[in-house]
Amino acid sequence: MEQDASAPPLHPPPYGAAVSTISPYVPMSPQASSTGGRWIAPPGETDTPSFVWPDAPDTDVADNDKAREPTYKPTQAFKAIVGYEKTTIKESEPVQRPQPPQPSSSQQQFKGEAAGLAEEDAHKVLKAFVGKKLCYGKRPVEEMEIKDVAHSSAVHYSLETFIECRTTKRVHRPMRGETYPLHRKDLTPSGVWQVENPPDQIWAVDEKSIPVPNTSTIETCHACGGKGFNKCFRCKGRGKTTCKHCKASGKKGSNPCPYCHGNGRQRCFRCNGWACISCSVCEGYRKLEFYIQITSNFKVKQGDYLHNPGKKFPAKLLKDVDGEMLFEEENQMVSPLTTFPTQDVNTQSQQLLQKQLSVKTERVLLQRHRVKGIPIAEVSYTWQTKDGRYWVYSMDKRVYAPDYPHSCCCCRCVIL
């Protein structure tokens, strides 16, 4: 198959060609003209490297299967893009968000709390609790007299804010023959926060990247200089390495080394002896499309406040328990509570909102807050002329009885 003179060559010049005249390249396989200008590695193995690298070592290097390709960083100067003049190949700091919208104005109405626990029910709950504890005596619960049930409620306020942070970066991808809308100076790209990049799912932590339209430029690949191939990093451009099995001696004991057939050297296992490998940056296509990329990081910020009216009841027991939903609101921006009967809850609502809106690089996408009432019943009783008490709390009627008589001192199972 005859090579088109106008098409870019696909393989390095033959071994021994002058380094200063590496173009035009000489195709080395009949498939060359059908690849559209992409350099592809020659098939099979060879004992003659396809290119002389001026910085290759004078002698073969030891084979190292852990050798890794070097990192190629862009060194060219890029065209300035309006609005993204400071964007580089490094991830930027989070970009300052636009002015947040005003909170929605809504009438805050709170539901009434659930009915209190009757004495009979309080006694039944304790009986069920004691029945599941092998170390608790059943006589006290059968004989005790309920004197009083005092009702109160803990209040759990929670606030969640679904936010987005945006960063910019100049990235690249190989020019694989696609048609790209290149940057036009007469058109100004959209600003960082004007580019549409909605989350795939609300209230979910995620990361999503998108190119900015009208920021693409075409550059010669910085890794290979437009050749489409690079020096093999395993043999360092020699095409061969010393045999690690015989340590380049050519012998294993008194016999020729079976791995290198007594030569003390082998074809490089990475490049098969050609001394060249396809450029990992441009994938052999020689050209790169550089463009501005916006990355959105979606997060959920959480805050809560627990108002516990009972000083003798441990607040830690109220964490993550069921309660009666007294108020719930979701909107792009919510207003702090102002009319809840417990003023501490109103104050904490305002402080939590201010805290979650204080970071100027976080755009608020959605907010929601809830008020949950957790019923607590303090039950006083008498048994054998002695007074005692226990608590029934949460919607699923959990029991806290730290001073229950006839309980094993070595077992602290006081919570159902």
When mean pLDDT is compared across 249-253, 336-340, 354-358, the lowest value belongs to 249-253
Question: In b/e form, how buried is each residue of 165-201, taking b as 16+ CB within 10 angstroms?
Answer: bbbbbbbbbbbeeeeeeebeeeeebeebeebebebee
pLDDT digits (tens, 9 = 90+) for 264-277: 999 999 999 999 99
Task: Please give the structure tokens belonging to residue 142.
Answer: 């059968």
pLDDT at 311: 75
When pLDDT is cut at 50, 70 and 90, the band that residue 4 belongs to is: very low
| Angle (CA) 398 403 409, round 5° | 105
When mean pLDDT is compared across 14-18, 251-255, 268-272, the lowest value belongs to 14-18
End-to-end Cα distance, the chain: 84
Q: Is residue 216 within 8 Å of residue 290, measured between CB atoms? A: yes
Spatial CA neighbour of 42 closest among 67, 14, 72 = 14
pLDDT digits (tens, 9 = 90+) for 370-414: 999 999 999 999 999 899 999 999 999 999 998 898 765 444 444
Of the chain, the percentage scoring pLDDT greater than 90 comes to 66
Residue 218 sits at φ, ψ, to 5 deg, of -105, 130
Which residues does 230 contact at the CB level (< 8 Å), separation at least 6?
69, 223, 224, 276, 277, 278, 279, 280
Give the mean pLDDT of 201-229: 95
Q: What's the mean per-residue pLDDT of the chain?
A: 86
pLDDT at 116: 78
CA 384 to chain centre: 62
Q: Quote the CA–CA distance of 167 and 192 in Å, as a whole number.
A: 8
pLDDT at 164: 98
Q: Is residue 50 within 8 Å of residue 231, measured between CB atoms? A: no
Q: Quote the CA–CA distance of 46 and 272 in Å, as a whole number.
A: 7
pLDDT of 134 above 80: no
Q: Quote the CA–CA distance of 159 and 349 in Å, as a whole number.
A: 8
pLDDT of 29 above 70: no
pLDDT at 25: 31
When pLDDT is cut at 50, 70 and 90, the band that residue 36 belongs to is: low
When pLDDT is cut at 50, 70 and 90, the band that residue 26 belongs to is: very low
pLDDT at 32: 30
Q: Which residue has the higher pLDDT, 200 or 79?
A: 200
Which residues does 120 contact at the CB level (< 8 Å), separation at least 6?
none
Q: Quote the CA–CA distance of 319 and 144 in Å, as a whole number.
A: 30
Give the mean pLDDT of 68-72: 95
Q: Quote the CA–CA distance of 402 and 416 in Å, as a whole number.
A: 11
Residue 356 sits at φ, ψ, to 5 deg, of -75, -15
Domain boundaries, the chain: 119-160+298-400
Q: Is residue 261 within 8 Å of residue 245, measured between CB atoms? A: no
Question: In b/e form, how buried is each residue of 100-132, taking b as 16+ CB within 10 angstroms?
Answer: eeebeeeebeeeebeeebeeeebbebbeebbee
Backbone dihedral region of 397: left (phi > 0), alpha (psi from -120 to 50 degrees) or beta? left
Q: Which helix (H) or strand (E) holds 160?
A: strand 145-174
Q: Quote the CA–CA distance of 41 and 13 in Å, as a whole number.
A: 12
* Percent helix, strand and coil across the chain, each to the nearest 5: 10, 30, 60
pLDDT of 61 above 50: yes
- For the CA atoms of 142, 144, 150, 156, the dihedral, rounded to the nearest 10 degrees, stands at -50
Rg (CA), the chain: 37
Pairing of strands 251-252, 255-256: antiparallel
| Angle (CA) 400 153 353, round 5° | 120
pLDDT digits (tens, 9 = 90+) for 84-113: 999 999 999 999 998 887 776 667 778 766
pLDDT at 182: 80
pLDDT at 79: 86
